[in-house]
Amino acid sequence: MWRKDFLLGVATAAYQIEGAVDEDGRLPSIWDTFSATPGKVLHGDTGAVACDHYHRWRDDVELIASLGVEAYRLSIAWPRVMDAAGRPNETGIAFYRNLLQALREKGIQTSVTLYHWDLPQHLEDAGGWRNRDTAYRFAEYADLMSRELAGLVDFWSTLNEPWCSAMHGYGTGHHAPGRTSVVEANQAMHHLLLGHGLALQALRRNDPASQKGIVINVGRGTTDGDTAADRRAAELFEMQHNDWVLDPLLKCRYPAALYEELWQDAAPPVHDGDLALIAAPLDFLGINYYFRTNVRADDNGGYVEVPLEGVERTQMGWEVHPDGLRDLLVGFHGRYANLPPIYITENGMACDDEVVDGQVVDGQRIAFLNRHLAAVDQAVKAGVDVRGYFIWSLMDNFEWAFGYERRFGIVHVDYATQRRTVKRSAQLVRDFLAQRRGRP
């Protein structure tokens, strides 16, 4: 089914697991501010403690190794490694260096994301991703980390899900910093992608042996409507969700129809040379996929979500639709002649998991993972170059605006005691990998 070097790994993000938000020189991030604002996060939860990974990382490395996975995807907390003047925080950097070295010693490949949403608050105070200068500050951060950690990282990703950072952070207000302007969302998107292009230069300069790319979230849009307007609505959904990011990366342009039909007054603030930087060749493209969205035409030439009845859903309320992953991968393969090798960098589901008699039997998640891996296999057989798959997530954690209620992990976390319990899904992953390596 898979090529011999097909990677199977697990993934996490710094703010969701580390805790220790005010220790060893770490500065506040936009998520510290946002989650401390009443009404922004379910139950008033914050990432102040999370999974206490900052203090328990050695045990967590042993946990990862015990699962037999071949790779671990993590992110660096920008506020932990630099001060407000851009000077390195040696204690914060040492945390990541020690973590990466320990993973290397276990034979686990490392996939490091530079930005998984935790912008230093002092940069947001200066305009955040609305401000072009933030892209240059991001490049300085990428330069520092790729010099400090060169040789310890197999895969560098500049950004995780710039769509979420731009749209949910600046367009809908669902995520930090909680702003609500489509114009600002387009400013943020452009500056995120500009930061990606600038950071890519630093990564190539400082750590040439590593693979460099970006991680994007993609969405499958379909319609149960029967009009041409409904079908166009589904196209516009995917254009806004996918092409808004992929076209500048792979076609050196933003999709014109997006601004002609949806966002007439929200054109990105492009300067000469920006798009050439953004469209620099990638060694890989990370794809995060979770669900399908059903839409119909609205009265303004756009679309509105119309949830389907009678479909399987996760604890998040998201439809389980593995065919959407296959269809998107095959579609990208046909649309982008320069599509780089792909890693599925996040795929998984939230369940209302409980420990019963010392075990967590998460049958829905097991079925979810099996069906999505089968969808990836179908895409590979259709010619798509997919080289790995990372389960989201290694362990239950702070699920952004949903706090600690939604559990995505293949390892259960009791947040009161920080006890980790390997779920049945993780046991099956371990057994599968042992079998693949020819061990009993």
DSSP codes, 161-210: -HHIIIIIIIIS-SSTT----HHHHHHHHHHHHHHHHHHHHHHHHH-TTS
Is position 1 within any domain? no
pLDDT of 440 reads: 54
Q: What's the sign of the alpha-carbon dihedral 354, 355, 356, 362?
A: positive
Distance, CA of 180 to CA of 168 (rounded, Å): 8
Is position 133 within any domain? yes
pLDDT of 3 reads: 75
User: Which CATH number covers residue 422?
Assistant: 3.20.20.80
Could you tell me the end-to-end alpha-carbon distance of the chain, in angstroms, rounded to an integer?
20
Distance, CA of 29 to CA of 33 (rounded, Å): 7
| H/E segment holding residue 10 | strand 7-11
How many structural domains is the chain composed of?
1
**Alpha-carbon 323 to chain mean position:** 20
| H/E segment holding residue 391 | strand 386-392
What range does the domain containing 430 cover? 7-436
Is position 92 within any domain? yes
Q: Quick check: 237 and 226 in contact, CB under 8 A? A: no
Angle at Cα 205 formed by Cα 199 and Cα 206, nearest 5°?
90
Which residues lie closer than 8 Å to 222 by C-beta, 6 or more apart? Answer: 234, 292, 293, 294, 295, 324
Taking the chain (440 residues) in consecutive chunks of 10 residues, what is each chunk's mean pLDDT? 84 98 98 98 98 98 98 99 98 98 98 98 98 98 98 98 98 98 98 99 98 98 97 98 98 97 94 98 98 97 96 98 98 98 98 97 98 98 98 98 98 98 98 82
Is position 2 within any domain? no
pLDDT of 437 reads: 82
pTM over 0.95: yes
**Alpha-carbon 434 to chain mean position:** 27
Residue 246: count other Cβ atoms within 10 Å of its Cβ.
Answer: 19
Q: What's the sign of the alpha-carbon dihedral 293, 285, 256, 273?
A: positive
What are 285's strand-pairing partners? 214, 342
pLDDT of 353 reads: 97
Task: Give which of 349, 399, 315, 393 is closest to 67, Cα–Cα.
Answer: 393
Residue 162 identity = P
Where in the sequence numbering do the catalytic residues fall? 346
pLDDT of 4 reads: 79
Residue 399 identity = E
DSSP codes, 69-105: -SEEEEE--HHHHB-TTS-B-HHHHHHHHHHHHHHHH
pLDDT of 347 reads: 98
Distance, CA of 393 to CA of 265 (rounded, Å): 38
Q: Which two tokens stand for residue 112?
A: 């490091």
pLDDT of 5 reads: 86
Is position 88 within any domain? yes
Is position 70 within any domain? yes
Distance, CA of 95 to CA of 91 (rounded, Å): 6
Is position 212 within any domain? yes
